[in-house]
Amino acid sequence: MPFVTLPVRLRRPAVTPVPAAPGPVRRQRLHVIDALRLMAALSVVFFHWTGVDRHPEVWGGTPRHLMPGLHRFGAYGWMGVQLFFLISGFVICMSCWGKTPRQYFVSRVVRLYPAYWVGILLTALVVNHASTVRSDRHPLSISEILTNLTMLERPLGVTEVDGVYWTLWIELRFYLLFAVVAVLGLTYRRVLAFCGIWTILAVITPSTGSKLMDVVFMPQDAPYFVAGVAMYLIYRFGVSPLLLGVVGFSWLLAQNRLHITVGGYEWEVGHSLSWPVMAVVSGVAFLTMLAVATGKFGWVRWKWLTVAGALTYPLYLLHQEIGWALIRYGRDLHVRPEPLLLICLAVLLLLSWSVHRFAERPLSARLQRLFDGRTRPLPRTDPPVVPRAAADADHRPVAPEPMLGPTPGGISRDELPDPRTADHR
C-alpha cells in the first residue's frame, strides 16, 4: 500500500499565562486610603505637639511633665511618616498606571506644588512675625522663602520654612526613581523588577560609603516605598507568594533600619524609645496596607472620608510652626493643655480646608489647564540643519544699487572690476 502524505497541523506548546497581562482593575475610590492618610497626618501632628520635648518655650514647659500620658503615646507619632511612605508607594503606582511620562510628570506637579506654595507663604508669615515662639528660629530672608518654593531647599542647603518639609525631598526622589519605570511603561514585570533592583541597591548602599548612592537609593526609607508598590501589584493582579515575599522582606529591612532612624527622634523627645513598640507599630502599618491590597476594607465607603483625605496634605504642611504659634498664644491666655490641643486642632483643620477649597483646588485646576492647553509637544525629530553658508547668506547685508553715471575719473561704475571676482595677483 503506497504511503499517503497527510497534512499535519503543528500545535504550539501551551504557554503558561504570565501576570504581565492586564488584570482586573478596580476603579472605585479606596476611601480607606483617605482614612489612613488622615490617621498618619494626625499621628505626626500629635508627635510635634505632645511628643517633641526640646521646645519648652512653646508650652511654657515640657510636654513630658505637663501631659505625661499624652506624651507617652505622642513620642511614637513620628511613625505616621512611615505609613505615609507605604501609602505613597501604593498610590503612585495606582495613579500612574497607563499614563504617559508627560502625564506622570504633570500629575505630580499639579498634586504637590499648589498647596505647598500656599503653605510656604503662610508659614513664613508666621515664622517672621511670631519668631518669639521658638528661641532657636530666626526670621527667614526673601531669598530663603523663594528657594523653598522650589521644594529643593534641602539639597540646596537652605533653611526650610518648616522642618516637616524634609519628607517632601524624600518623596521627590522616589518620584524620580519611579519615573524610570513610567518612561518604559508600567507592566507587572517591570514594576516587580524595579522593586527588586531598588531593594538590592538600598541594601548595599551603606557598605559602599557613597553619599551619592545614599541620596539616590535612600536605604532607610526604600523598604516602605517598595512594599507599597508591591502591595498595589497585589491589589491589581492578586496575591502571589512572590509579592508577599517582597512585602515581608521589606518589613524585615524596615525593622532593621529603625535602629538607625530612631536616633534623631529620641533627640526630639528627650529620652529613649522602645524598639519592640516601634516594630509592632511598623508591623501593624504593613498589615493594614496589606489588608487594603487584598480588599479587606472594601466595605469602607463613607464619602466624607474623601474630604478628610483632601485635608491631609494641607494639614501636614501647616501644623508644625503655625500650630506651635497657636499653642503659645493659647498658653498666654491660660488655656489648659488638653482643651488647647483640641482647639488648635480644630483651627488647623479649618485652615487646611480653606487652603484646599480656596487655594489648592483653583491653583491645581489652572496648572492643569496650563499644561494641557498651552504647551506644545516636543518634536519627534531634530529640525533640519541649515548649512553654514546659507545661514550666513541670510544675515549678509544687501549690496547697494550701482550708481548711475561716470566716476570722477570718467569711467562708468559698470566698467569697474567686481572686487569679488577680480584677480588680485
Check residue 341 and give its pLDDT: 97
Q: How far apart are CA 191 and CA 89, in angstroms?
A: 11
**pLDDT tens track for 233-264:** 999 999 999 999 999 999 999 999 999 999 99
Nearest to 35 by CA among 316, 312, 354: 312
- Indicate if the alpha-carbon torsion angle 306, 310, 313, 319 is positive or negative: negative
pLDDT over threshold 80, residue 150: yes
pLDDT over threshold 70, residue 20: no
Q: 19: pLDDT confidence band, cut at 50, 70 and 90?
A: very low
Using an 8 Å Cβ cutoff, are 122 and 318 in contact?
A: yes
Q: 385: pLDDT confidence band, cut at 50, 70 and 90?
A: low
Across 60-83, average pLDDT: 95
pLDDT over threshold 60, residue 88: yes
Nearest to 224 by CA among 423, 42, 82: 82
Q: How far apart are CA 268 and CA 274, in angstroms?
A: 15
Using an 8 Å Cβ cutoff, are 344 and 49 in contact?
A: yes
- Alpha carbon 269 to its chain centroid, in Å, reads 27
Check residue 389 and give its pLDDT: 53
Name the DSSP class of 150. T
Check residue 377 and give its pLDDT: 60
Q: Which three cell numbers stand for residue 284?
A: 501593624
User: Which contiguous run of DSSP H or E holds residue 144?
Assistant: helix 142-148
- Between 247 and 401, the higher pLDDT residue: 247
Q: How far apart are CA 237 and CA 359, in angstroms?
A: 37
The proportion of the chain whose per-residue pLDDT surpasses 70, expressed as a percent, equals: 80
Across 352-371, average pLDDT: 95
- Between 346 and 380, the higher pLDDT residue: 346
Check residue 130 and give its pLDDT: 72
Q: Which three cell numbers stand for residue 380?
A: 519627534
Which residue shows C-alpha cell 469602607? 300
Q: Which three cell numbers stand for residue 350?
A: 479649618
Check residue 386 and give its pLDDT: 52
Q: Which three cell numbers stand for residue 288?
A: 493594614
C-alpha R_g of the chain: 31
Check residue 133 and give its pLDDT: 62
Q: How many CB atoms lie within 10 A of CB 423?
A: 5
Q: How far apart are CA 390 and CA 179, in angstroms?
A: 42
What is this structure's pTM?
A: 0.82
Q: 408: pLDDT confidence band, cut at 50, 70 and 90?
A: very low
Check residue 415 and give its pLDDT: 44
- Between 18 and 99, the higher pLDDT residue: 99
Distances (CA, A) of 219 to 56, 116, 174, 261: 33, 26, 12, 11
Angle 410-411-414 (CA atoms, 0-180°, nearest 5)? Answer: 145
pLDDT over threshold 70, residue 320: yes
Residue type present at position 364:
S
Check residue 138 and give its pLDDT: 83
Q: Which three cell numbers stand for residue 408?
A: 570722477
Check residue 135 and give its pLDDT: 66
The two counts, helices (H) then strands (E), for the chain are 17, 0
Q: How far apart are CA 199 and CA 249, in angstroms?
A: 9
Q: 374: pLDDT confidence band, cut at 50, 70 and 90?
A: low
The structural domains of the chain, with segments of one domain joined by +, span 31-370
Across 324-352, average pLDDT: 95
pLDDT over threshold 80, residue 197: yes
H-state helical runs in 270-403: 275-293, 304-332, 337-355, 361-373, 388-394
Q: Give the phi and the psi of residue 412 in degrees, each rounded to 5.
A: -65, 145
SS3 content of the chain, % helix, strand, coil (to 5): 65, 0, 30
Helix/strand/coil for 228: helix
Check residue 29 and give its pLDDT: 79
Average pLDDT in the chain: 85
The proportion of the chain whose per-residue pLDDT surpasses 90, expressed as a percent, equals: 74
Q: How far apart are CA 356 and CA 91, in angstroms?
A: 20
Q: How far apart are CA 189 and CA 20, in angstroms?
A: 6
Nearest to 345 by CA among 35, 38, 33: 38
